[in-house]
Structure 1
């Protein structure tokens, strides 16, 4: 049955891996002595850690349904193939920033990859108040390299269109994003939940707020219709594994050609949520001040360093069909092209601000919440942190034009940290 899908249990997985020399050799020892632990804490898949006498690996197998919900929500297994393609692409463009792929079986919807140890999920570290000195440089390199080199700025049009076609079949995962991020939090939806009763009025207000509905619909249209680059598609702090010296991006099964600001906004939105959730994890007033200062500095530098690296690539590696050099020859042409680059980055920043807001709202009013908030034991305090995040996110979403630079975002986040909703006054 090697080419027939079945959900692998421990004995099946042990037998399957033992027949793969590239895997069994890495694990070492006798297969019967390998330890196999299922550790998947995400919403969609099975994840196994396998350890032998000389090494370890991680194995991810897609389920034919959403794990968080169950068999009532079917999903195609093909998402595992798109994840594999994305990992290979990212490894080529951003080496050492994604796990190495050791084996892929499309029929089994299975990927075996490097075991990341002692890395932890970044979101868990942020909840604990841990500072990660390498993160800014690593994540901005990942974003700049993967986004620029899959864009029309770097790729000939034919190659770009072939790339779009290669990922076009990942529409079921895109549909999840389209519904859960851009639609469901703003209407009555069975899967929605929030910290009740404190956020009941806020959730109702979002369902009636037509300014919000217009703004989120514009972002949804951009997500639907702007294949700017191959994006990760789910780049939150739960899809990043870290140590203080290393960063690895994981789980790109939502990958497709979409708007670049969606990936950048996902990183920034999750950092803002970490900042505004931090008060709920304090054991003593002010004890997390240094961490919170670092988070906001990181928000600013994620954008500024990404922008710097992206523009550097554009100036030196622009081999795509966009902005033909023959149209910008000479001194005046070069000056005008540089002006256009700055305008391009301003548009991308506006997209980033909007998508950061959308990612925040969905994590509080929709399905699949963040442990940043969920692990705050005092429910009213949790609601207070979430209300502050929603207050900030709504303004970023509706008044995006007032956020002309990343400093405006962090200033607004500091103000939101002290904002008091009606239930807390």
Structure 2
């Protein structure tokens, strides 16, 4: 990349589409000087601005992604630490070293403009959208467990020099983004103390009973929040949902790491697992009844269940194998200690999965898996099933042993929801 830059980029300002194309031409040494460039804004998130710039009519298909952070949150305009983009850039570059080929390549980071220039994954698709369309990704469980295992264990005190780990931990202090998670995931779904929850009127009474008034649930959520806020055991992605992953049948890439910080390993694994239950609920409770191609729907659901089981099983296998080769401390190398550590991660991750499910149903950061349900009656039922699923995971997850326990918890929630409906019909 070019070292020189125009004076107009010596102070931060937010780029629009025209500005993104101009920046690419004037600052980045990616295209030839006479290339005819075009661009489009592709970001649809709540936080940052994302542009794709490409060469029009070139013999070789060349394109680049520009992701810029602003000092104001895109969705609400609230002030936000612009340093989050530097954290994301460093996280992505670290992924490329620890888990090669599982994240987009970073070409350049501009700290003044708070901008990352990175590889364009034009031949990949968003995992959330793919799962919503009942697409199968044979490589997904293999790749995502490699990503989580390597990027957490190798940045923990188990495998990293303690002084280097503490130095790295200071570089990834990310208070604004952590504050967002602490509120939206751990607190507001159970108290709505800021009045930002978005609940269907038809489910308000259900939410008040099952979430706002369940003190035992609040206790478990509080325990998990304390873990999130105080256990800086490894560098975690911090927002590892299916919308932050791009895929093909042969490839998986993780991006959107602006929430990265040193936190509990269980949060990344739990976040990913929890997000698999949104397409599970949609295809099981909505699309299976409406889809003419029932064989395709059934095949997808079988694969999705197998994937949930495989994610847990493969994570365990890879964690143990990596543990044996990279952990050297004599106390940590004990098999009993390794198994205790791993069991704790698994139990907490399954409870964290429940938090992610609940917050996506009642919070204001929705998922299209649920938002796309046109039939109100079916959506009401899906939301209730997922709320009960999340509660089961939060309250009982620490006793779960594998992915099959998660699936059984989901099935139990379907049964309990249908029993509630029957009892309501009997009283009417």
Report whether the alignment pairs 1:83 with 2:92. no
* Aligned equivalents of 1:420, 1:208: Cα separation in 2: 18
Secondary structure in 1 aligned to 2:159? Answer: coil
- Aligned residue for 1:308? 317
Corresponding residue of 1:281: 287
2:176 maps to: 172
1:347 aligns with 2:354: no
CA contact (8 A) 2:17 2:51 kept: no
Deviations 1:259-298 (A, max 9, x none): 0000000110001222112232342374511111111111
Contact residue 134 and residue 247 of structure 1 kept, 8 A = yes
Aligned residue in 1 for 2:65: 58
Which residue number corresponds to residue 47 of structure 2? 44
Shift of 1:75: 1.1
Aligned equivalent of 1:331: none
Cα 1:394/1:48, change in 2 over 3 Å = same
Determine if contact 2:21/2:38 at 8 Å carries over to the other structure.
no
* 2:277 corresponding residue in structure 1: 272
Query: Is structure 2 residue 244 aligned with structure 1 residue 247?
Result: no
1:139 matches 2:148? no
Distance in 2, matches of 1:5 and 1:298, equals 43
| Residue number in structure 1 paired with 2:362 | 365
Whole-Å separation in 1 of the counterparts to 2:421 and 2:81: 43
The CA distance in 1 between the partners of 2:146 and 2:34, in whole Å, is 38
1:257 paired with 2:262, answer yes
User: What is the alpha-carbon root mean square deviation over aligned residues?
Assistant: 1.8
Q: What count of residue pairs does the alignment treat as equivalent? A: 406
> 1:345: Cα distance to partner?
1.2
For the residue of structure 2 that corresponds to 1:197, the secondary structure is: helix
Q: 2:108 aligns with which of 84, 89, 103?
A: 103
1:85-110 CA-partner distances (Å, limit 9, x unpaired): 10111111011100001121111111
CA 252–21 in structure 1, closer or farther in 2 if over 3 Å, else same: closer
1:277/1:386 contact within 8 Å kept: no
Structure 2 match to 1:405 = 402
Structure 1, 405-414 or 234-243: larger mean CA deviation: 405-414
TM-score in terms of structure 2 length: 0.91
> Which residue, 304, 308, 326 being the options, matches 1:299?
308
Supply the distance in 1 between the matched residues of 2:205 and 2:115 (Cα, whole angstroms). 41
Aligned to 2:4: none
Per the normalisation by structure 1, the TM-score is 0.91
Question: Residues 384 and 315 (structure 1 numbering): CA distance in 2 closer, same or farther, change over 3 Å?
Answer: same
Once residues 21 and 61 of structure 1 are traced to their aligned partners in structure 2, the CA distance between those partners, rounded to angstroms, is 14
How many Å separate the matches in 2 of 1:246 and 1:400?
Answer: 30
Contact 1:233–1:262 at 8 Å: present in 2 too?
Answer: yes
Change (3 A) 1:50 1:211: same
Identify the residue that residue 3 of structure 2 maps to in structure 1. Answer: none
> Is the 2:71–2:81 contact (alpha carbons within 8 Å) kept by the matching residues of 1?
yes
Provide closer, same or farther for how the CA distance between residues 59 and 423 of structure 1 changes in structure 2, counting only shifts above 3 A.
Answer: farther
What CA distance in whole angstroms lies between the structure 2 residues aligned with 1:264 and 1:65? Answer: 30
Q: CA deviation at 1:419?
A: 4.3
Q: Which runs of 5 or more residues in structure 2 are unaligned?
A: 1-7
